[in-house]
Amino acid sequence: MEVEIATIGGYEEVGRQCTAVRAGQDVVIFDMGLNLSKVLIHDNVETEQMHSLDLIDMGAIPDDRVMSEIEGDVQAIVPTHGHLDHIGAISKLAHRYDAPVVGAPFTIELVKQQVQSESKFQVDNDLIKMEAGETMQIGDETELEFVNVTHSIIDAINPVLHTPEGAVVYGLDKRMDHTPVIGDPIDMERFREIGREGEGVLAYIEDCTNASKKGRTPSERVAREHLRDVMESIKDYDGGIVATTFSSHIARVKSLVEFAEEIGREPVLLGRSMEKYSGTAERLGFVDFPDDLGMYGHRKSVDRTFKRIMKEGKENYLPIVTGHQGEPRAMLTRMGRGETPYDIEDGDKVIFSARVIPEPTNEGQRYQSEQLLRMQGAHIYDEIHVSGHLSQEGHYQMLDALQPEHVFPAHQNLQNAAQYVDLASSEGYTLGEDIHLSRNGQVHQLTE
């Protein structure tokens, strides 16, 4: 059987992930992501209104025109998890394919919300929920399986396409977490089985975001203890404490909520995406927040909450807000600019439970946001965080577990993907032979 891999997006950047795998006449597309930085660099771009081709030209979504070179029919579109760089282009591209979107329940729920807010295209693809550990028949001879992995968002999976020529493992995005705060540990046992059963692993597409980082990415448990330590240390402070993190990082939000209560403060979630992700996670039963936890997204209800906090005393509350990257329109940035009823005063604490995404736009915005907060006397706690991506030792362990015939580094620019090539070379792989440094829009035929 012919097996081909088309590296469509995310092979020259972090963002707009997209890869197609063809096995005989059946094609599966893994991820359809958005490169948000290409959108944010323009003022006031409303992507909901934009046409796919314009977004492709901007470099914001994958250029899937290469699909016309691929034979066969697309049988499924499979997002790995709910981060925008993996699902953000579904509303712009999925309608071109007569295929369902198949994902884990939390991911599908986020896709559903995105499709509903799309105003340019009618996206009628079926949305199918499939749990980690489950499989789905794709055509006559191939099968799709979801393996549970751990990442900085709940319900992340690595999809595996089992073909007669061996398995194709799509390995984006994960870290090896054996003690996650929400959900099950990464299923390394299953990866080891897949590496040894049947024809073994034909190809492994790997998330090499942190391929330059030595050692091991710590568990979420470590970030949680770090956060607990910081919050315990300021428990006697009688002024304002504000925290920010990735809205989609439900495990971290849960830790913040719990520790707020431990230090005698009422947590409250503020900002549109805080309300969206935490509300969705709670509704689907992934997290059990206190019954009276306030979540507010709309400007009016946020302002009302801030006024209540100012009236009843900032020392009684922990606002958990959007804006960890200094995004100009996010809550924390607005607080720094004095655009909300919440006054930041000399000595108040701001906790960034996040790391700045190393990208010049983010770094600049985050710098500005922090300066605004400092000018009002805020004290900053930074980088209370662990990465969601494997470091070098995790990569070695994955290669050992899967023993893939071919490896494709992804989720990076070419410069950083080269770091992964070095790593794999030390395990006996050869560039251009069985490790493929690919660009966006290339097609690789693996078997005949």
Binding residues for Zn(2+) are 81, 83, 85-86, 151, 173, 411
Give 358 or 428: the residue with its C-beta nearer to Zn ion: 358
Q: Please check whether residue 31 is in contact with residue 80, taking contact to mean a CB–CB distance below 8 angstroms.
A: yes
Q: Count CB-CB contacts under 10 A for residue 225.
A: 13
Residues 160, 203: Cα–Cα separation, whole Å: 10
Name all contacts of 157-162 with Cβ < 8 Å and 24+ positions apart. Answer: 157/80, 157/81, 157/103, 157/104, 157/132, 158/80, 159/28, 159/30, 159/78, 159/80, 160/194, 161/21, 161/23, 161/28, 162/198
Tell me the window of 172-180, 275-283, 402-410, 419-427 that interacts with Zn ion (CB under 5 A). 172-180
Give 248 or 438: the residue with its C-beta nearer to Zn ion: 248
Give 27 or 160: the residue with its C-beta nearer to Zn ion: 160
Give 149 or 344: the residue with its C-beta nearer to Zn ion: 149
The pair of structure tokens assigned to 414 is 């070419």
The pair of structure tokens assigned to 320 is 């958990």
* Helix extents (H) in 296-346: 299-312, 331-336
Number of residues lying near Zn ion (CB under 5 A): 2
Give 246 or 259: the residue with its C-beta nearer to Zn ion: 246
Give 75 or 209: the residue with its C-beta nearer to Zn ion: 209
Tell me the window of 75-83, 90-98, 109-117, 331-339 that interacts with Zn ion (CB under 5 A). 75-83
Main-chain phi, psi angles of 265, to 5 degrees: -120, 150
Residues 186, 179: Cα–Cα separation, whole Å: 9
Residue count of the chain: 448
Tell me the window of 81-89, 342-350, 368-376, 421-429 that interacts with Zn ion (CB under 5 A). 81-89
What's the chain's Rg over C-alpha atoms?
A: 22
Give 109 or 370: the residue with its C-beta nearer to Zn ion: 109
Give 88 or 166: the residue with its C-beta nearer to Zn ion: 88
Is residue 173 near Zn ion by the rule CB under 5 A?
yes
Q: What string of H, E and C letters represents the secondary structure of 105-172?
A: HHHHHHHHHHHHHCCCCCCCCCEEECCCCCEEEECCCEEEEEEECECCCCCCEEEEEEECCEEEEEEC
The minimum distance between CB 171 and Zn ion, in angstroms, equals 12
Is residue 249 near Zn ion by the rule CB under 5 A?
no
Give 83 or 252: the residue with its C-beta nearer to Zn ion: 83
Tell me the window of 55-63, 79-87, 116-124, 293-301 that interacts with Zn ion (CB under 5 A). 79-87
DSSP one-letter code for 183: S
The minimum distance between CB 104 and Zn ion, in angstroms, equals 13
The minimum distance between CB 174 and Zn ion, in angstroms, equals 9
Tell me the window of 36-44, 170-178, 214-222, 316-324 that interacts with Zn ion (CB under 5 A). 170-178
Tell me the window of 77-85, 290-298, 307-315, 400-408 that interacts with Zn ion (CB under 5 A). 77-85
Tell me the window of 166-174, 259-267, 323-331, 395-403 that interacts with Zn ion (CB under 5 A). 166-174
DSSP one-letter code for 18: E
The minimum distance between CB 152 and Zn ion, in angstroms, equals 6
The minimum distance between CB 193 and Zn ion, in angstroms, equals 25
Query: Quick one: how far is CA 400 from the chain centroid?
Result: 25
Q: Binding site residues for substrate, as ranges?
A: 385-389
The minimum distance between CB 82 and Zn ion, in angstroms, equals 8
- Of the candidates 224, 226, 227, 232, the one whose C-alpha atom is nearest the C-alpha of residue 243 is 227
Pick the binder of Zn ion from 22, 38, 83, 406 (CB under 5 A): 83
Q: What single string gives the DSSP state of each residue in 344-411?
A: P-TT-EEEEES---SSHHHHHHHHHHHHHHHHTT-EEE------SS--HHHHHHHHHHH--SEEEEES
Q: Binding site residues, as ranges?
A: 81, 83, 85-86, 151, 173, 385-389, 411
The minimum distance between CB 81 and Zn ion, in angstroms, equals 6
Cα dihedral across residues 214, 424, 416, 386: positive or negative: negative
| Interacting residues with Zn ion (CB under 5 A) | 83, 173
